[in-house]
């Protein structure tokens, strides 16, 4: 799986039940975002490696689909249990490679277990249908069957959880999968292969690493692949859509978000403030469903901002392994430079910088990818900071005079993933069903979906969706029989 050279772990890829190096022999450096130190190297997989992984998945799929659903579920539950038993080790790797706090990394591993266990527990609930025929002595049977070979592309913010979110239901449904974690945060996901290698049949789960333009392109465009599921940026989703179109490959995309956080005059202010803090700064703001723009009713705007800024200034930024730390580093230098440019542009456009807006001071912040939690007020919907995904510890705030104005401004976006609304007026809540164009809406509560729900976005935020019974159904296609028995 790996060997240590000069104190650095050099990983291999998991293909067909074996650990293999890239056909090119080239490696990718994995950097600790807290201090910019090299922590591991992984293979720079090639198109040839991608084909090899797909062929291994293709060879394994018929036998895997023939395994009774109950048995497939039991094997995946065993894998979930092994992940649980390695919770601390995997969480440590996550913190080292991605920079999230260790407590959040532990939570990610717990979520990974749940993402695998939930569909595995539903294995015996995969149902078909029998419907009446228009013809005499005939039945119509509709079976749900696997697609075949699937590909799972995970994002760098929650790489292990997103991998489990994809291969859990896919394998439960009888598909096989090739998983490609992001090159910037791949090592904890590769460790899943170690836990699966003596449990799952060879080729059922494969884990490869490398660039999107090389091995990633091959995985999506190869005709062996019958379904691709990806979590990532809108731009990457567009490219994937084009590549998949050649073979009419099914796609499931969970893309960017620009979640509005609406607080009305009748809301519980202290509760809304606390929810707004965690919903923005969780994982240094690197969550697709994070609070990305706030709309505060004018009656509570000033009081809310005062309370909010006080809590934001109290957040501790620092060593992600320190239990007292609230915010770790951003994942990369490019990410820090992007959000810093957005803040500077917002100020130039007329926003007032209330706090943050720079790299924190101190010896420990001389290296690494750090940015202070930042609050901007006086934002308008025509500003880039209100329209483009920030994906960092920065939040712009706008003032509104009515519920109708808040809805109109919230909907005035290319994105439609998550939204937050705080009000005690149930008439307003009921209106959200028809009037707020987002796939996942949190009412009077902070960030965090549940496995039995359904996670999906509208507009540029994606197609398909994940989690719950509907997420499992996304990995199944329908096969219809017209059975004449007379």
Look up residue 265 and give its two tokens: 């005059």
Q: What φ, ψ does residue 67 adopt, rounded to 5°?
A: -70, 130
Alpha helices in 419-463 (DSSP H): 426-435
User: What's the CA gap between 338 and 330, in Å, rounded?
Assistant: 11
User: What's the CA gap between 37 and 161, in Å, rounded?
Assistant: 24
Strand partners, 454: none
User: What's the CA gap between 33 and 471, in Å, rounded?
Assistant: 33
**Cα–chain-centroid distance for residue 178?**
17
Other C-beta atoms closer than 10 Å to the C-beta of 330 total 26
Options 108, 191, 218, 254, the catalytic residue: 254
Indicate if 288 belongs to the active site: yes
To which H or E segment does residue 88 belong?
Answer: helix 87-98
User: What's the CA gap between 252 and 456, in Å, rounded?
Assistant: 10
Options 275, 284, 288, 290, the catalytic residue: 288
User: What's the CA gap between 34 and 368, in Å, rounded?
Assistant: 4
Other C-beta atoms closer than 10 Å to the C-beta of 212 total 18
Give 21's Cβ-side CA count (13 Å radius): 10
Residues 6+ apart with CB under 8 A from 219: 50, 53, 54, 151, 153, 178, 180, 208, 225, 228
User: What's the CA gap between 258 and 389, in Å, rounded?
Assistant: 6
Angle at Cα 361 formed by Cα 357 and Cα 366, nearest 5°? 110
Angle at Cα 166 formed by Cα 163 and Cα 171, nearest 5°? 115
Q: Running DSSP on this structure, what letter comes out for residue 157?
A: S
Indicate if 254 belongs to the active site: yes
User: What's the CA gap between 188 and 93, in Å, rounded?
Assistant: 6
Q: Running DSSP on this structure, what letter comes out for residue 180?
A: E
Hunting for tokens 């149930």 — which residue is that? Answer: 426
Hunting for tokens 């690493």 — which residue is that? Answer: 209
**Active-site residue list:** 254, 288
């Amino acid at each position: 799986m790996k060997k240590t050279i000069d104190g650095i772990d050099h990983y291999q890829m998991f293909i067909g039940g074996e650990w293999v190096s890239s056909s090119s022999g080239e490696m990718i450096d994995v950097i600790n975002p807290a201090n910019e130190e090299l922590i591991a190297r992984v293979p720079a997989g090639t198109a040839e490696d991608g084909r090899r992984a797909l062929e291994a998945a293709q060879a394994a799929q018929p036998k895997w689909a023939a395994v009774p659903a109950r048995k497939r579920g039991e094997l995946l539950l065993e894998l979930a249990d092994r992940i649980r038993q390695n919770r601390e080790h995997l969480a440590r790797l996550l913190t080292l490679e991605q920079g999230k706090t260790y407590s959040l990394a532990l939570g990610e591993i717990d979520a990974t277990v749940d993402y695998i266990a939930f569909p595995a527990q539903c294995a015996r609930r995969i149902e078909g249908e029998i419907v009446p025929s228009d013809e005499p002595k005939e039945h119509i049977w509709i079976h749900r069957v696997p697609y075949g070979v699937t590909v799972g592309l995970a994002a760098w913010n929650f790489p292990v959880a997103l991998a489990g979110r994809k291969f859990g239901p896919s394998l439960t449904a009888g598909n096989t999968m090739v998983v490609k974690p992001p090159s910037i945060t791949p090592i904890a996901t590769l460790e899943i292969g170690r836990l699966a290698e003596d449990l799952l049949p060879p080729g059922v789960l494969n884990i490869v690493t490398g660039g999107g333009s090389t091995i990633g392109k091959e995985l999506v465009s190869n005709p062996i692949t019958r379904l691709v599921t990806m979590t990532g940026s809108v731009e990457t989703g567009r490219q994937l859509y084009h590549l998949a179109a050649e073979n009419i490959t099914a796609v499931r995309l969970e893309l960017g978000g620009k979640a509005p956080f609406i607080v009305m005059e009748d809301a519980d202010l202290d509760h809304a403030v606390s929810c707004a803090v965690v919903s923005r700064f969780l994982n240094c703001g690197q969550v697709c469903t994070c609070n990305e723009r706030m709309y505060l009713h004018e009656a509570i705007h000033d009081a809310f901002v005062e309370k909010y800024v006080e809590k934001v200034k109290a957040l501790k930024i620092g060593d992600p392994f320190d239990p007292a730390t609230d915010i770790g580093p951003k994942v990369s230098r490019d990410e820090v430079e992007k959000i810093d440019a957005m803040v500077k542009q917002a100020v130039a456009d007329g926003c007032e910088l209330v706090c943050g807006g720079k790299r924190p001071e101190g010896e420990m912040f001389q290296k690494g990818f750090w940015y202070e939690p930042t609050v901007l007020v006086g934002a308008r919907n025509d500003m880039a900071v209100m329209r483009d995904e920030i994906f960092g510890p920065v939040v712009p705030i706008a003032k509104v005079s009515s519920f109708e104005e808040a809805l109109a401004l919230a909907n005035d976006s290319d994105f439609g993933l998550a939204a937050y609304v705080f009000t005690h007026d149930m008439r307003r809540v009921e209106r959200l069903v028809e009037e707020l164009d987002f796939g996942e809406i949190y009412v009077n509560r902070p960030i965090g979906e549940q496995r039995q729900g359904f996670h999906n976005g509208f507009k540029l935020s994606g197609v398909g969706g994940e989690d719950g019974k509907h997420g499992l159904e996304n990995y199944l296609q329908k096969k219809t029989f017209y059975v004449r028995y007379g």
